[in-house]
Amino acid sequence: MYCVPIPCFGSSRVLGILLLIFWVWVLRDCLRNEPAGSGEKILWTVVIALAPVFGAGLYMFVRRPARIARYGR
């Protein structure tokens, strides 16, 4: 298999680093902005922590817009 060294070098590492940054950003958003009294903060934190890519994506595209519409942040 032939690969040009520059574009192919470390492409899976770059993807991994980008996914890690996305996961940390979503987890931080959840911990800072979810309302503390309802238990949803704990639930979403566990979902994001146990299923990093799926949980973060689910939170980002399902819960976050609903939270922003309801609480404004």
- pLDDT, tens digit, 9 for 90 and up, residues 10-33: 567 778 888 899 999 999 988 998
> Judging by beta carbons within 10 Å of its beta carbon (0-12, 13-18, 19+), is residue 5 exposed, middle or buried?
exposed
The answer, yes or no, to whether residue 8 has pLDDT greater than 70, is no
Q: Residue ranges per domain, the chain? A: 5-71
Q: Which helix (H) or strand (E) holds 48?
A: helix 40-50
| Distances, alpha carbon 71 to alpha carbons 34, 40, 67, in Å | 9, 13, 6
CB-based contact 23:31 (threshold 8 Å): no
Interval 30-67: pLDDT, tens: 899 888 887 888 999 999 999 988 999 999 899 888 88
C-alpha 22/C-alpha 64 separation (Å) is: 14
pLDDT at position 63 is 86
